[in-house]
Amino acid sequence: MITRDLQVDSEGKLHHFLTIDSLNRQMLTEILDTAESFAGVTEQTVKKVPLLRGKTIVNLFFEASTRTRTTFELAAKRLSADVLNINITQSSAVKGETLLDTLRNIEAMHVDMFIVRHADSGAAHFIARHVAPHTSVINAGDGRHSHPTQAMLDIFTIRRFKGPDFGRLRVAIVGDVMHSRVARSQIHALNLLNTGEVRIVAPRTLIPASVESMGVRVFNDLRSGIQDVDVIMVLRLQHERMKGALLPSEHEYYELYGLTEKKLAHATGDAIVMHPGPINRGVEMDSEVADGPRSVILQQVAHGIAVRMAVMSLAMQRHPGGTE
Ligand code: CP
């Protein structure tokens, strides 16, 4: 069980960042507001602040990543930290070294923070339990459990485009909710902000059992699911996590659930379209939509830098000596 205690210290300050579900609204808002203050840094000529000078941050990615790994690296560099990227495929993990041994050996190099992505749910939590007390762990995606910084950058993007009053918003999450760590984190974050209505839209085979207990409305039809929504968050089909044939074919999925300009007309006139990436074009959505005027997909990526700067600086603030 991932507890709130593991994420925050005795004073309620962020220590690790593993999951959204145990945050409260105040902490979530603090991350968003801190990210807002960092968004300006990324637009300056000199894109650096000295907050984490002298700190060592290690990117420990056991699973492929483009956006998350690079934006964490950029965010750490913009905070003036030293960043080490461990290439797992060329590390001793491929010779059978255990996760814990890999961790202990890197930790011996006086690391202050690990950014962890792993195919197993609970991996970041496991690492957080075993690191030295001064070391922070940030979850960059664990199995199908959680991807908290992705959800934070998604919420940050919605707030920038739609304003801070989530109570008046209808949000639809479309696609493979069953295997998605992103969807779980998004639903928790949207609930914390008292979002007016959160819908999930997917074929029955891609909807987890008792998902309604998370306070969402479930739709199996795309057109009615996105009717009058303000935000459409499309998910990737997570083929690597599917066991057996959950879908008849990608073509049929596209016909029923692929977002096209025509289907998009069911949403509000100024609805925004989001996707965490990587996109399967022509399956989850048309290129016309992905590259169209309603798409904020590349803005999501850019916002990832400011949000990850916020999470890293807040997690370091509690350290003796803290941020500069
Ligand atoms: N959204 C996301 O996690 O993308 P990557 O897998 O490229 O990091």
Given pLDDT bands bounded at 50, 70 and 90, which one contains residue 2? Answer: very low
Closest C-alpha to ligand 1, atom 1: 276
Is the minimum distance from the CB of 71 to ligand 1 under 6 angstroms?
no
Is the minimum distance from the CB of 249 to ligand 1 under 6 angstroms?
no
Q: Is residue 323 predicted with pLDDT exceeding 80?
A: no
25-39, 84-98, 185-199: which range is least confident on average?
84-98
Is the minimum distance from the CB of 68 to ligand 1 under 6 angstroms?
yes
The average pLDDT across 101-128 equals 94
Is the minimum distance from the CB of 186 to ligand 1 under 6 angstroms?
no
Given pLDDT bands bounded at 50, 70 and 90, which one contains residue 302? Answer: very high
- Which H or E element spans position 148? helix 148-162
Q: Is residue 316 predicted with pLDDT exceeding 60?
A: yes
Who wins on pLDDT, 105 or 249?
105
d(CA 31, CA 37): 10
- Per-residue pLDDT tens for 49-77? 999 999 999 999 999 999 999 999 999 99
d(CA 48, CA 75): 9
The average pLDDT across 6-21 equals 91
CA of 38 to the centre of ligand 1 (A): 21
Hey, CA dihedral for 51, 27, 73, 40, is it positive or negative? Answer: negative
CA of 240 to the centre of ligand 1 (A): 14
pLDDT at 303: 97
Q: From residue 314, how far is each of 18, 235, 279 by CA, in Å?
A: 13, 28, 31
CA of 285 to the centre of ligand 1 (A): 17
The average pLDDT across 109-126 equals 95
CA of 68 to the centre of ligand 1 (A): 5
